[in-house]
A and B are shown apart, each in its own frame.
Chain A
Amino acid sequence: MLLFVLKRLGVMLLTALCLTFVVFWLTNLEPNLEKLAKEQANARMTDEQVESWLEGHGYRRPLLLRYGEWVGGVVQGDLGTSSVFRKPVAEIVGERLGYTGWLMFWVMVVMVPSALLIGVLAGMREGSRTDRTLSTFSIASTATPEYVSGVILVVLFASSRGGLSPIFLERGTLLKGVATSATDSITFENFALPVATMALYGMGYIARMTRASMAEVMTAQYIRTARLKGVSFPSIVIRHALRNALIAPFTVIMLQFPWLLTGVVIVETLFNYKGFGWTLVQAASNNDIELLLSCSIVAVLVVLVTQLISDVGYVWLNPRIRVR
């Protein structure tokens, strides 16, 4: 098992190197460099001035050498300096990632249990009224993208003139439509809407997977064995079906983490929550090479770590797979 984890870590490192190199190469293409120079020095520079600025700042040295320098810096813990925020990248990424971490945490806390519950309830009696109702709900929630559901939620709960707020309150809104204050302290009022927006989208998807897996397990012969052993229906679902039914959705849930990381771009922009997604947008639109590189490292790490957890968890859930 240890060997397996070590190998996985090795693969992870290699992937991170390849991916950052691609990002490094793309961000160092000629037009980007020109834009960078004009932005940093003077927007009305002549081509010669641009060239000498780039020469002066070391951008004309071989690409591989500069990539090597950057990697060397990363190994020593130096991620460089952001050209937009004028601060060390490590500081920015750490801070922003922390904010997004909280968002993802609450999304997962809301999304996973409710998705599994919906999926299991729907799948344990395939074709029943419960199944049809819950399935309709989960299809509808997956079919609505965040920028639609987010706007609908804002209108419903965070508008002082429309939606539900005027019905219950004389003044103000039920929930806040902006989550900027959540970077200081998270409250139900400022955090409910971004969390709900993200959770709704992912929830339907996981619930559908769980339902399909559950419905299949419930027709398995060992479920019949349990039933004819005299096991009651709730026990069949919890003791016999659940673990088997969770094997397939588990991988999907783990795949949701990387998705959340990109999904936050829309939600953080929509609710003006200054987390990782928001930073990514800033970095990309301002050609902040070193910040972008660090963001891509983070993305690679998140994808690969969740994959690792997913594989290990899969082995744990499914005793038929053993890693030697």
Chain B
Amino acid sequence: MTDTDDTPILEIDKLSISFFTQGGEIPAVMDFSCTVRPGEALGLVGESGCGKSTVALGVMQDLGRNGRITGGSIRFRGRDLTSLNAAELRRIRGNEIAMIYQEPMASLNPAMKIGRQLMEVPMIHQGASAAEARALALEVVEAVRLPDPERMLRAYPHQLSGGQQQRIVIAMALMSKPSLLILDEPTTALDVTVEAGIVELVKDLGARFGTSMLFISHNLGLVLETCDRLCVMYSGEAVERGSIADVFDRMRHPYTQGLFRSIPLPGADKNARPLVAIPGNFPLPHERPPGCNFGPRCDYFQAGRCDAAPVPMADVPGDDRHETRCLRHDEIDWLAGPVASADTEPVTPGDVVLSVRELRKYYEVAGSAFGTGEARVVKANESVTLEAREAETLAIVGESGCGKSTLAKLLLGLETATAGSITLAGEEIQDIAVEARDRGTVSSIQMVFQNPFDTLNPSHSVGAQIMRVLELFGVGNSTAERRERMLELLDMVKLPRAFASRMPRQLSGGQKQRIGIARAFAGTPKVVVADEPVSALDVSVQAAVTELLTEIQRRNRTTMLFISHDLSIVRYLADRVMVMYLGHVVEIGTTDEVFSPPYHPYTEALLSAVPIADTSVVKKHVVLEGDIPSAMNPPPGCPFQTRCPRKAEVPGDRCETEVPPLRDLGHGHGVKCHLSREVLDGMEPVIRIA
């Protein structure tokens, strides 16, 4: 290596970015510094609104009309990007610095063929001819492992799946072999098994082309898998910087510590070792506290010291370029465990409350817009059988299109079943739509929705909305009684009673979700279906909402069906787990049974795909090929056979011709697979703690 190779690719020094609105200046990024060396991958981690995407757009010099760099410098290979004119910037953008975005569908031009969008890059930057550009495009599309590159180039973006679109966006970024790649939450919109494929690809390409990377994510596990170094941001500032090993294992900032304690790592347990949520809320940009931004939420806060003056970055002695923005970093006992919240007894499940037998749901889809052609059938649920007991948490796990939301709709009566039965407390409800259900049935099975932002009526106060629900459920005889009950519900979800008169827009995401929970529990339901209740929330808020949900469930002995794609939280929360794929239940059992071998091959891949933010975890590497097939056109035989890595271990063509039965491996642990007992017993655990 020569000396010139050692000059950093990207050097950001004391960068400040503000947005200027009618309300005045809003600082989005303050005093931010970081360095990316050649071939290095730097992770930028933080919650939404912490300014990490603003940093990326600052590097790209694309802050829009209102944004302006108010201080500091951004050097790219020694050149200050802030001083470049428009033409010079154009030469760098897409050529030397390329970017990959969060939503692949939105970032591709819908009215332009993929080929032309890719070819544009070398044609602008290298002056390549159309033929040369096309040849290069083919090469790169092959490099991102897309099938049938010729066809890809002729396709429009909407004809590809989400994973394929993201591969195209990556291909577009790689067309000119950039020296810096900025990835802004590149996999957030994708399913876990697809995400695993993209992550592997990005890592592989980085190594192959020697590209430096700035990887922006809110997911610590993902950063662990992809990056060498890490920078944690909080409220516009970098709070901790260092190598992955230093920051993950010897963190020196209370916020970083709080983040790690609020995500469910293997070993966390809802009874013995519960998650510790960071108290309070993220400060709004114009309401930042004096001194340390994290001060008001910090356990180690000392008045008069932490809130006296802005806190500078300080070196952590002994580590390689490890810095923290904490005044007390050498005083805190970092090894001390979290202040133990009282251990809780595991709940003993009671009688069966909800029982589903051989449930099927088929949708008929007209063949074409004009009624010609054959009607096609989407098999959204295929013979689902489950039982849920009182006070038990049953998790339903699967990726998009697996039928978990259809199941929820059937349970709630938003759809009626095609075949099979749903028995709730002795009553069959599979054919009764929600409008036809009596009050008792409706209030005894309720739902907590995924997106708290859209589920509250923006023009009614929170209290009025809860009281309306109480009225519908026939709780209380007078408005006064219902009002009293509503205030009790607010107490239950740990919101101040004053919130009753607030409008939904005055609430944060976590607070809105608490209202959603209050509403679901208003009629003391027997069963609550929680559809990804925390996935739209920030990490530090997720833990608090999860905690609340389990506490209420425990107290009311409610049965909870917890729908999620996130296996970490499922392992933490659930008593039993059901894994679904393309409408089929492929595995069902207790949490321990599902998370340890023998696995269904899909469960095995799913476990391997979930990024875990723990340096001591060793995972078995299983990456699935291709995409989830469409439920409109499912493969014959086993639904998973098109992607199954263990298909070769089953003799003959049974996987392609026969749907496997759900085999009982003992104690009600069922696996829908043709693999022989020996192969299943010979499986190794996917996750091991080294």
Q: Which residues of A contact B (CB under 8 A)?
A: 3-4, 7, 127, 220-222, 224-232, 235, 239-240, 243-244, 247, 317-320, 323-324
A225 to B372, CA, bound (A): 39
Query: Shortest distance in angstroms between B657's beta carbon and chain A's nearest beta carbon?
Result: 31
Would A232 and B90 be within 8 Å (CB), given that A220-B106, A221-B106 are in contact? Answer: yes
Query: Shortest distance in angstroms between A129's beta carbon and chain B's nearest beta carbon?
Result: 14
Q: Mark B88-113, 1 if CB is under 8 A from A, else 0.
A: 00111111001101010011111110
Are B103 and A228 neighbours in the complex by a CB distance under 8 Å? no
The verdict on B633 contacting chain A, using a C-beta distance below 8 Å, is no
Q: Mark B528-547, 1 if CB is under 8 A from A, else 0.
A: 00000000000000000000
A225 to B107, CA, bound (A): 6
Would A324 and B110 be within 8 Å (CB), given that A221-B103, A229-B124 are in contact? Answer: no
Are B156 and A323 neighbours in the complex by a CB distance under 8 Å? no
Within B71-97, which residues are at the interface with A (CB < 8 Å)?
Answer: 90-95
Chain A residue nearest to B112 in the complex (CB): A240
Are A244 and B110 neighbours in the complex by a CB distance under 8 Å? yes
Are A222 and B110 neighbours in the complex by a CB distance under 8 Å? yes
Are B93 and A229 neighbours in the complex by a CB distance under 8 Å? yes
Q: How large is the interface on B (under 10, 10 to 19, 20 to 34, 35 or more residues)?
A: 20 to 34
A228 proximity list for chain B (CB < 8 A):
60, 62, 93-94, 98-99
The verdict on B580 contacting chain A, using a C-beta distance below 8 Å, is no
B121 proximity list for chain A (CB < 8 A):
229-230
Query: Shortest distance in angstroms between B84's beta carbon and chain A's nearest beta carbon?
Result: 12
A3 proximity list for chain B (CB < 8 A):
370, 372
Are A319 and B94 neighbours in the complex by a CB distance under 8 Å? no
Are B62 and A319 neighbours in the complex by a CB distance under 8 Å? no
B369 proximity list for chain A (CB < 8 A):
323-324
The verdict on B120 contacting chain A, using a C-beta distance below 8 Å, is yes
Q: Which residues of B contact A (CB under 8 A)?
A: 60, 62, 65, 90-95, 98-99, 101, 103, 106-112, 120-121, 124-125, 156, 158, 169, 172, 368-370, 372-373
Q: Shortest 10 CB-CB distances between A and B: which pairs?
A: A229-B94, A230-B94, A221-B106, A324-B368, A230-B93, A222-B109, A319-B156, A225-B107, A243-B111, A230-B90
B91 proximity list for chain A (CB < 8 A):
230
A221 to B106, CA, bound (A): 6
Are A222 and B93 neighbours in the complex by a CB distance under 8 Å? no
A220 proximity list for chain B (CB < 8 A):
106
Are B93 and A227 neighbours in the complex by a CB distance under 8 Å? yes
Are B93 and A319 neighbours in the complex by a CB distance under 8 Å? no
A235 to B370, CA, bound (A): 39
Would A320 and B110 be within 8 Å (CB), given that A224-B62, A230-B92 are in contact? Answer: yes
A320 proximity list for chain B (CB < 8 A):
110, 156, 158
Would A244 and B124 be within 8 Å (CB), given that A229-B94, A319-B158 are in contact? Answer: no
Query: Shortest distance in angstroms between B55's beta carbon and chain A's nearest beta carbon?
Result: 14
A243 proximity list for chain B (CB < 8 A):
111-112
A227 proximity list for chain B (CB < 8 A):
62, 93
Chain B residue nearest to A4 in the complex (CB): B370
Are A224 and B107 neighbours in the complex by a CB distance under 8 Å? yes
Chain A residue nearest to B95 in the complex (CB): A230
A77 to B111, CA, bound (A): 44
A324 to B110, CA, bound (A): 19
Query: Shortest distance in angstroms between A106's beta carbon and chain B's nearest beta carbon?
Result: 31
A194 to B113, CA, bound (A): 43
Query: Shortest distance in angstroms between B122's beta carbon and chain A's nearest beta carbon?
Result: 11
Apart from the given pairs A319-B156, A319-B158, A323-B369, 20 other A-B contacts in the complex at a CB distance below 8 Å: A3-B370, A3-B372, A220-B106, A222-B107, A222-B109, A224-B62, A225-B101, A226-B120, A227-B62, A227-B93, A228-B94, A229-B121, A229-B172, A230-B93, A239-B120, A247-B111, A317-B111, A318-B111, A319-B110, A324-B369
Chain A residue nearest to B91 in the complex (CB): A230
B112 proximity list for chain A (CB < 8 A):
239-240, 243
A318 to B62, CA, bound (A): 28
A-B contact pairs, 29 of them (CB 8 A): A3-B370, A3-B372, A7-B370, A221-B103, A222-B107, A222-B109, A224-B62, A228-B62, A228-B98, A228-B99, A229-B120, A229-B121, A229-B172, A230-B90, A230-B91, A230-B125, A231-B90, A232-B90, A239-B120, A240-B112, A243-B111, A243-B112, A244-B109, A244-B111, A318-B111, A319-B158, A323-B369, A324-B368, A324-B370
Query: Shortest distance in angstroms between B36's beta carbon and chain A's nearest beta carbon?
Result: 18
B368 proximity list for chain A (CB < 8 A):
324
A318 to B110, CA, bound (A): 8
B93 proximity list for chain A (CB < 8 A):
227-230
Query: Shortest distance in angstroms between A21's beta carbon and chain B's nearest beta carbon?
Result: 26
B172 proximity list for chain A (CB < 8 A):
225, 229
B124 proximity list for chain A (CB < 8 A):
229-232, 235
A3 to B371, CA, bound (A): 12
